[in-house]
Structure 1
């Protein structure tokens, strides 16, 4: 069997590729990582049978719809979510086959009402989503969550697996990649050891966490299995630079990729004039056109050449990309993370910048 653990740094999400006899499953795919996942499938000679989400995520948009558009894969998700566009509604006890192997579905609600854990047929590994994280668990204060339900789910459906079973979560924020049933039974401070339901409920009901930043976008999108609103088809991937398509529809370029392709593009800095020479500086050869002036000065740009928009963090420049695209510019991308990312990666700024 082929197994790969993949990571999305933006949301700290783990995706998992399992393959056997030429067929594959992909667990918890991320919308922006679909090109990476398709490239890996091609390299490994695998046909994607289905994508499986462990739950309706609140911190990123699933890649399920995007991969179905490109690969023809089925979308599998808990029937309890009542999401639109699901090809295979899943219930407790369902098998999901790939090649000569299969995953078995275990309902583990509590983080959300539609959480599932996927267990490999020989019980050597399980994919727990946010129901059980490494030395932790998902929150229980939205999307039908329940600390009482989560305690029961983990104790009865996950920690009853063989002690050597490897546990793979949907997220980790410290870089830890895997745990085991034995470890979590012994060391998980919320659900292991001598913790009882009273301890757990009291702890979870007093976390007082802010809602995830992308929740207002991610949850509605994931209830459509990651399909953008409207009937707009996926655009073809541009070939003038390595770009990533964000769920918003804006193409992004990573700082190192822009550094390598800078001579071939027009770089437009859409900050205000004082920011152009502040401590972050500006990119070599960047042209300052503040966002408020962009439409009035668009004739200063060559629509036949690619344009990369830049700002402090990538927010204003994303809007600039939308405006330029609507104005007829076909080759437009946003600098991911803006000047903040550029500075963090220690890439050069123009001489004379502060």
Structure 2
């Protein structure tokens, strides 16, 4: 550590979910899709691999065009990056000059990025029911970033409520991180054309089966997109590789598959919610591909008990949510095994 810049000496990096190196785990800890990519996506990756000696198209024109058509915006209102994490990092570098505000329980990278880039952060506690009270943000003059639906709580806000926040101060930027919006949330993308101070960030990691490909996007008016392009082209114009770009294009073109996977995920989520409630769990209403649950036994005890039985879920060692587990929605068979295993654990002597 002797060469570490002292400005970063207190930095606590983001801790990703465990990625086991064996195939014998049921993996419900990182909110990946339960389904593989469409066959055409795999074919597109293989085809793109034949030209890996060449740099990818830095403009990502084909993918930008397809995504803009799908989202109903112009190509100049789209920005693409190496996962939404890269885009969020660019936002923190370039769009937080007056500081940033976000909830105390939300996506962990927000606090990491604020410290990494030396940005003053106002961290606002969630309400007792773990929901976001937007009224508390009304007087803040810096940038506001909200995950909607929020993670790890799975709770979403209606678009109208966030739009009111956007309208209150046109000089204040509001960034909405919509990583999970396809699973039941209400997107702010249709309103970008009307508000210059609104930026929406999305990802292909969850609903599009491309967590391993690393592809994200932002939607905003041209001035905001140009800022992100300036940062990207000052950092790495080729951050989205050719195989990922080809996969993203093929995924957008495979809409029936995308919609079928979404429908099945929502159905399995509903089944799991009821099954867990029957076991005595409190399950927060979810608009995501995961559930945030509190059981008859603390999450700090259930997490290792499940791991010992080859089921991975996510537990956060934070005072307000240490009794909860975040459980990704897997296949129906995986969720049936989870429920059966939890039932066995709960009936064992504690």
Higher helix share: 2
Higher strand share: 1
RCO comparison, higher one (Cα < 8 Å, 6+): 2
Q: Which has the larger radius of gyration?
A: 1
TM-score of the two chains, using structure 1 as the length reference: 0.31
TM-score of the two chains, using structure 2 as the length reference: 0.32
